[in-house]
Amino acid sequence: MTPQTKEIVLAEPRGFCAGVDRAIEIVERALAKFGAPIYVRHEIVHNTYVVNDLKAKGAIFIEDLADVPPGATLVFSAHGVSKAVQNEAHARGFEVFDATCPLVTKVHIEVAKLAREGYEFVMIGHKGHPEVEGTMGQLDGGIHLVEDVGDVARIQPAQTERLAVVTQTTLSVDDAAEIMAAVRRRFPDIRQPKQQDICYATQNRQDAVKVMSRQVDVVVVVGSPTSSNSNRLAELARKLGVESHMVDNAGELRPEWLEGKSRVGLTAGASAPELLVGQVIDRIRELGAVSVRRMDGVEETIRFPLPKGLKL
């Protein structure tokens, strides 16, 4: 195909979810109300542009609470934190605003409630991801992490009469279902969440990529390398047999990816701002695209309330 025939197919929905919107607004409101600096434990969301933008406005991102001065204002990232981090923050006397996504908080509440009833847990998730560390850190023990089907055979709960399963909210829906099936085979009586833990935004963006992948020759995902849900979108397209690439910004887009491709699918992870999507569209136009078509898709209307104390 000649370059002039290229069409950009835009996934719907894409980009920011309600939890990301809320987390960024919490930091911006804290800066407006209390002034810089505002300290944030871990990247507020996993996106380079967002983090750098907030740094420029006066946010300081830290991993160790020892790096936060006494009396400072501290925000917990959207991924959530362990009980140990919560307790340390309060012991140090910080003014704390919790930007944990309410859908992650829902998992934390479920873990705490069932632990009081004597349950142990199987957690499906990625080792080292801050959300997984935060959820597993709600308890002192009794949570067994599985990253793949092979892990399911290796875990050894102390008992199986009271066993429940929880998942990281940003997993591949299909991979999680496969691991969940293995968990159920090994522990037929395991308690499952009333509603799946994988969040609506993760599900919707993956569903959109499934539809889009049938219509395009290559998929470009806007998202940072640290973003779990963005990586899952790129992986999903590949599993569906479509070449896919992830870019943090338009400057990372390589012209050779688009050579001979008449339709380019474009989506963005839940932590990637629409501004970056627009810049990638402009870049693909420079490389020969002549039209943009928006797919039909789920309209997301969910909004989460802000914590008390941040009204301006």
Digit-coded pLDDT (tens) for 190-212: 999 878 899 999 999 999 999 99
Task: Give the pLDDT confidence score for residue 194 in this predicted structure.
Answer: 79
Q: Please indicate, yes or no, if residue 310 is contained in any of the structural domains.
A: no
The pTM is what? Answer: 0.95
Q: Which of 85, 101, 117 is the last residue of a domain?
A: 101
Q: Which domain holds residue 211?
A: 3-16+200-294
Same domain, yes or no, for 109 and 63? no
Residue 284 has pLDDT above 50, yes or no: yes
Q: Which of 101, 133, 153 is the last residue of a domain?
A: 101
H/E segment holding residue 82: none
Please identify every residue annotated as catalytic: 131
The stretch 245-249 carries a mean pLDDT of 98
Number of domains in the chain: 3
Task: Give the pLDDT confidence score for residue 2 in this predicted structure.
Answer: 46
Residue 1 has pLDDT above 50, yes or no: no
Same domain, yes or no, for 80 and 129? no
What is the maximum span of the chain, computed from C-alpha positions, in angstroms? Answer: 64
- Going by C-beta distance under 8 Å and a sequence separation of 6 or more, which residues neighbour residue 167? 107, 123, 124, 125, 176, 180, 196, 197, 198
Q: Listing from the earlier edge strand, what are the strands of the sheet with 95-98?
A: 59-62, 38-41, 73-76, 95-98
Same domain, yes or no, for 207 and 284? yes
Cα–Cα separations (whole angstroms), residue 194 to 110, 164, 170, 191, 286: 10, 11, 18, 9, 48
Residue 312 has pLDDT above 80, yes or no: no
Residue 3 has pLDDT above 60, yes or no: no
Q: Please indicate, yes or no, if residue 302 is contained in any of the structural domains.
A: no
- Going by C-beta distance under 8 Å and a sequence separation of 6 or more, which residues neighbour residue 279? 249, 250
Same domain, yes or no, for 286 and 204? yes
The stretch 145-165 carries a mean pLDDT of 97
Q: Please indicate, yes or no, if residue 55 is contained in any of the structural domains.
A: yes
